[in-house]
Amino acid sequence: MDVEAARLLATALAIGLAAIGPGIGIGFLVSGALQAIGRNPEAQGTIVTNMFIGIVFAEALAIFGLVIAFLIGFRVL
């Protein structure tokens, strides 16, 4: 395997693995929020606000992985 193939494989693994965790986390987060709204519909505003804050923090991890993948792909690292 030459260096360019290894770099492309590392780029694909970096973004692939970085997207798995936040994807699963966002799924659990939304599921929990929907269950909480189903149990207590009056608290929907607070639950949805906190859900979106959690989604933003989880998605930030995927964006960090994307940045690392770009750095590997464009030969900065």
Domain count, the chain: 1
Question: Rounded mean pLDDT of 26-38?
Answer: 96
Provide the CATH number for the domain around residue 45. 1.20.20.10
Closest by alpha carbon to 29, among 61, 1, 63, 75? 61
Q: Which residue range(s) make up the domain with 28? A: 3-73
Q: Taking the mean position of all CA atoms in its chain, how far away is CA 28?
A: 12
pTM over 0.95: no
Taking the C-alpha atoms of residue 29 and residue 51, their distance in angstroms, rounded to an integer, is 7
pLDDT of residue 77: 62
Q: Which of 2-6, 45-49, 54-58, 62-66 has the lowest mean pLDDT?
A: 2-6
